[in-house]
Structures are given as structure tokens and as C-alpha cells.
Amino acid sequence: MKKLKISFNAPVVLTFGCISLVALVLNFITVGVSNQLLFMTYHSSMMSPFTYLRFFTHVLGHEGWSHYIGNMSYILLLGPMLEEKYGSGKILEVIGITAIVTGLVNYVLFPNVALCGASGVVFAFILLTSFTSFKDGEIPLSFILVAVIYIGQQVFEGMFLQDNISNMSHIVGGIVGALIGYRLNKK
């Protein structure tokens, strides 16, 4: 009988989840100071190097356990499949591009809003997943339905609900995932 062993099957996704967990624990220990300093992007001085760092690191911070668990559930569900299909480097690129784009959009368009969490990455992964069966010259119906359902919901909620959720990061993350998914699968 062959012994079972645990494999580190998706290094980027698993490392992202672990670093986010460390950031969450730090946030509890520091009573929110670490999130403000490192894991939340907001309109701060362009002279501060932390402003530029936070454009990337805000996706690692979370408001609390339920926020973290909600995002990591999707990331751990979708991420390993995506990392296996596209490779660790591409998934790291998706996370990095989503972080910088959502951070910059938030900084420029919403100067009074602080942004933290991996929701943009979740939506990038959701839209990227819908491209896994893409063939040249075709648009998968699954992609259209996912885009309409997920992005449509975010537009609706952004217009009609005041719930402290950044629908902008969801929409921007979804757009990033769709564009990268199209580009990766076009070949």
C-alpha cells in the first residue's frame, strides 16, 4: 500500500493565503495599525514609499475573519486549478496586476475610501476560470453568464446598496481576470 503524503500543489495560492493569514493575525495584534500601515490602500502622500507598497499589499489585508474566510474560500477553490493550468508565474502576475490596478483606481477615483482585501483577486480568478475552455474565435457562454451575473451584481449593488464593500475592486478585478484570460487563451 502506497503512503499518502500532503503536497504543496499550488505554491503561489497557498503562500498568498498564508501571508494573508499572517497579515490578519498582525491586524488583530496591532488593533488595526498594521492594516493601516501596510495592508490597506488609501489616499496618502505620493512622497511616502508606503503609498506605493500598499498599492500591492492591500490585497493581503482583511477586515476580520469572515472577510478573510470569504475571500480565501474562493481563492483556494479556484486558484490551484488556475495555477496548474497557467503556472505559478502567471498566477502571481494576475494577483500583482489586480492589486496594482485596483489600488490605483481606488487611489485616483475614490480618495476618501480605504481599500483592503483580496476581493479583486477573487473576481479576477472567477473570470479567469470561465476562460479555461476558451477556443480561438469563440466566446464561451459560461464566460458571458459569469460576467453578467458577477459583474452585473456588483454594478447593481454599487449603485443601490451602501454596504462598505468595494464593488469597484470586484468589477476591476473581474475585468483584469477577463482580459488576462482572453490573452492567455487566445493562443
pLDDT-based confidence at residue 187 (cuts at 50, 70, 90): low
Residue 159 has what pLDDT?
65
Phi, psi angle pair for 134, to nearest 5°: -65, 135
Query: Quick one: which H or E segment has residue 141?
Result: helix 141-146
Neighbours of 48 (CB within 10 A): 10
Tell if the pTM clears 0.75, that is, is over it. Answer: yes
**Position 33, amino acid:** V
Render the burial of 70-99: b for 16+ CB within 10 Å, e for the rest: ebbebbeebbbebbeebeeebbbebbebbb
Q: Which of 7-16, 105-114, 159-168 has the highest mean pLDDT?
A: 7-16
Residue 49 pLDDT exceeds 90? yes
DSSP class per residue in 2-32 = PPP------HHHHHHHHHHHHHHHHHHHTTT
Give per-residue pLDDT as tens, 53-88: 999 999 999 999 999 999 999 999 999 999 999 999
142, HSE (Cβ side, Cα atoms, 13 Å)? 10
Residue in 45, 71, 44 with CA at minimum distance from that of residue 60 = 71
Please state which of the ranges 29-33, 51-55, 146-150, 174-178 shows the lowest mean pLDDT: 146-150
Check whether 165 has a pLDDT greater than 60: no
Q: Using alpha carbons, select from 18, 173, 45, 161 the residue that is nearest to residue 103.
A: 173
Q: Which residue has the higher pLDDT, 36 or 5?
A: 36
Mean of the per-residue pLDDT values for the chain? Answer: 88
